[in-house]
Amino acid sequence: MFFAERLNHTNVNDKFMVSFDITSLFTNILLFETIDIICQNDDLLPLRAIEFKKLLLMCTTDVQFQFNYTIHRQIGDVAIVSPLGPIMADIFMGYLENTVLKQAISETTECSRYMDDTFIICNNEQH
């Protein structure tokens, strides 16, 4: 509801609206990079960064899960059934927004994200 209310108060005349989705975000995040991003914030971690990194790697790499009565192993990505998937995806997207996309986002009229869906209103087609 909050998004709809903000959009109602936004002038979209002569602006471009863009909506995009990251396909299979949870299973396509850069797992090791995301773990490094998490461990860069030493002061926010409940353990030393090296210990926390080991725990995250244990919980996210070579995870086994059952689908259609068959055991599978997720390699290289967060398993789709992992409760860590949404959290890690949100951390990775937040990192992108605050680094790589920071300038582009600051030049938009509106930018909203919910998980892997992003909605942007910008002033011209160059954005």
Q: How far is CA 45 from CA 49, 56, 58, in A?
A: 7, 12, 17
Give residues with Cβ within 8 angstroms of 56, minimum separation 6: 35, 38, 39, 84
| pTM over 0.75, yes/no | no
The token pair at 95 is: 């990192």
End-to-end CA distance of the chain, in Å?
A: 27
- How do the pLDDT tens digits run along the chain, 127 residues long? 677 787 787 777 888 888 877 777 767 788 899 999 999 988 999 999 999 999 999 888 888 888 899 998 877 777 766 788 888 888 988 898 889 888 887 888 788 887 778 888 887 665 4
pLDDT at 125: 61
pLDDT at 126: 55
Burial class (CB in 10 A: 0-12, 13-18, 19+), 54: middle
pLDDT at 14: 83
